Amino acid sequence: MYDTPTATHALFELLQEGPYPLRIHVSGSGYVRRAIPVAAAVGPVMVQDILPHPDGEGFTGVLAELPTEGDALKVGWLGQELVDTGVVYGPEGNV
């Protein structure tokens, strides 16, 4: 069994073009590639198109809508309960 991944920092990048208004870059640990993929959400908004970093120290993904300021980043594995990381969304971009 794999441990739940962790997140220590997130950069929220507003996108000017395309179908997604926000990209998220997460730093942490435990984002290993495996048959069951990483899952994440910021508040009620699921992170989509998650690409774990090759070193397992984070991931990048996109959000289909902007979360509300103060919404928490939760991470885990698809099909399992996501865990609150203590990282929150803010309009300044870095949290």
At residue 1 the predicted structure's pLDDT band, cuts being 50, 70 and 90, is low
Residues in the chain: 95
The structure tokens 């220590």 sit at 8
Is the pLDDT at 94 greater than 60, yes or no?
no
Question: Is 1 inside a domain boundary?
Answer: no
Per-residue model confidence (pLDDT) at position 24: 97
Domain-embedded: residue 72: yes
Residue 90: inside a domain, yes or no? no
Nearest to 71 by CA among 29, 40, 33: 40
Which pLDDT score, from 0 to 100, does residue 90 have? 85
Query: Up-side HSE of residue 9: CA atoms within 13 Å toward CB?
Result: 4
- Is residue 13 assigned to a domain? yes
pLDDT value at position 95?
52
Q: What range defines the domain where residue 41 resides?
A: 6-80
Number of domains in the chain: 1
**Is 86 a domain residue?**
no
Q: What is the pTM of this model?
A: 0.92
In the predicted model, is pLDDT for residue 48 greater than 70? Answer: yes
Residues β-bridged to residue 12: 24
User: Is residue 49 assigned to a domain?
Assistant: yes
> Amino acid letter at 74?
K
In a domain, 29, yes or no: yes
Positive/negative CA dihedral, 58, 32, 19, 67: negative
Q: Token pair of 53, please?
A: 């970093």
Domain membership flag for residue 95: no
Nearest residue to 75 via CA among 22, 1, 3 = 3
